[in-house]
Amino acid sequence: MKHFFSIIGGMGTIATESYVHLLNHRIKIARDQDYLNYILVNDAQVPDRTTYIKDHSQPNFFPALRDDVLGQAKLHPDFFVMPCNTAHYFYPELAALTDIPFLNMMQIAVHHFIEKFPNEEKIGLIATEGSIYDRLYEMEIKQDGRQPEFGGPEIQPAVTKLIYDNIKQKGVVDAELYHWILRQMHDKYGCNVILLGCTELSLAQEKAPDHPYNVIDPQAILADVCIELSLKIRNGADPKEVIKKYMY
């Protein structure tokens, strides 16, 4: 197979399935050959990211991801993507394993927010406890001169319930709960834009998009970027040159 990218997924599997669904349905096609070339590594055995980030005595998820990246690097993909926000805790270490470009979903999402909403000084951030705890999104947002808003003490337990109790454990999206979280972030905490810092939240957006709030969905943005890059590379562009635009 010529010109493909590698997806380091399985964190969790349903969220990865949602990402692949976006890839396949957001591209314009008229025949089978119009779809993208990619290899999906659905490593469902990667230890829980939040558990390790909050407690380093728990199983470390880096070795599993390291093995996945090194294994895929032998196949020489044009680039890597990892549709899991929390797993970007080890992004620098993973990207350093190979000279193959590795897209950073967090950076791409924050830059998209700035480009689409240049006058917004604040952005709501809802994510796993791990992503909040490691402050990666927070630092990325502040680096670009914006301020993250996490909401009050009632927000994180609701987000955790939506991600873990509903989606990860039961495989269902509680649309009412998802909309309640967005409404609280908008009405109570003044967030005109809310960033979905977990791919399970991206799945919630896919399944329950019928709300009036502005959201930044990193998974959907990553899918669009992969489509753009893949089509340019398919049409003869140099992979490393076209990818430079998204390597911040």
Regions in the chain scoring below 50 on pLDDT: none
The residues pairing with 6 across neighbouring beta strands, listed in sequence order, are 39, 80
Residues 6+ apart with CB under 8 A from 184: 151, 154, 155, 158
- Per-residue burial over 81-109, b = 16 or more CB atoms within 10 Å of its CB, e = otherwise: bbbbbbbbbbbeebbeebebbbbbbbbbb
* The domain defined by 106-217 carries CATH number 3.30.70.580: no
Rounded CA separation 95/142 (Å)? 23
> Domain limits of the chain?
5-105+220-246, 106-217
pLDDT at 144 (0 to 100): 79
Q: What is the pLDDT, as a whole number, of residue 156?
A: 97
Query: What local confidence, expressed as pLDDT, does residue 240 receive?
Result: 87
- The Cα-based distances of 31 to 22, 27, 85, 150 in angstroms read 17, 11, 32, 44
The per-residue pLDDT for 33 is 95
Active-site residue, from 84, 125, 204, 223: 84
Is the entire prediction scored with pTM above 0.85?
yes
CATH T-level fold of 5-105+220-246: Rossmann fold (3.40.50)
Q: Is 84 a catalytic residue?
A: yes
Residue tagged active-site, from 53, 198, 203, 216: 198
- Could you check whether 5-105+220-246 and 106-217 share the same CATH topology? yes
Place of tokens 């490593």: 43
